[in-house]
Amino acid sequence: MVSEQTHDARRIMPHAPRVYLGLGTNLGDRWANLLRAIEGLRAFVAVDAVSPVYETEPWGYANQPPFLNAVVTGLTALSPHDLLSALKQLERDVGRRPTFRYGPRVIDLDILFYGTLCLDGPDLTIPHPRLHERAFVLVPLAHIAPDLLHPILGTSMRALLGNVDTSTVRLLGEVRE
């Protein structure tokens, strides 16, 4: 169902791409981190859907607390690189500090999809290059966009979800703003 906000955003930004953004946090008050990030996203994304929140085991480096993960979607007037810059600034605003790859973090914001754009650059790859391998992304993404097709793989999120182990992904609840 398309929200009233989507209609308003389409009137203001008729050619704006739909973006899907992944959110993750495993340090501090994880719920508060997600809420701050979602609120901050509204400054540059007309957010019209937020997935439920899931608790997941860490990926890439196991010796850290579990993550809370969610996906949001909406329209943006920002270019892909400007969106990436805005996301990095929002991560800093929420409290993220540099750490090692796949290490613990207060917030992590990733561009999963930017319309149907396919981009492979030194600092930005869209679609996110490993999203089809990660249950912590696919479970919330398939919840809000099960029929969304991966522009490179040509496969729906529902089908991609069937190819990953979801046994360590646990539904925690809806985001209440």
Q: Which of these is catalytic: 96, 123, 158, 170?
A: 96
120 carries an active-site annotation: no
CB 117 within 8 A of CB 147: no
Q: Which of these is catalytic: 105, 120, 158, 165?
A: 105
Instruction: Provide the CATH number for the domain around residue 115.
Output: 3.30.70.560
Q: Can you tell me whether residue 94 is helix, strand or coil?
A: helix
Q: Which of these is catalytic: 101, 110, 123, 134?
A: 110
pTM for the complete prediction? 0.91
Q: How far apart are CA 166 and CA 1, in angstroms?
A: 26
Range of the domain at 155: 4-173
Neighbours of 4 (CB within 10 A): 8
Q: Domain tally for the chain? A: 1
Q: What is the pLDDT of residues 7-40, one digit of tens each?
A: 455 555 668 999 999 999 999 999 999 999 999 9
105 carries an active-site annotation: yes
Tokens for 111? 């561009």
Q: What is the pLDDT of residues 116-170, one digit of tens each?
A: 999 999 999 999 999 999 999 999 999 999 999 999 999 999 999 999 999 999 9
CB-side neighbour CA atoms (13 Å) of 163: 12
Q: Which of these is catalytic: 30, 36, 108, 134?
A: 108
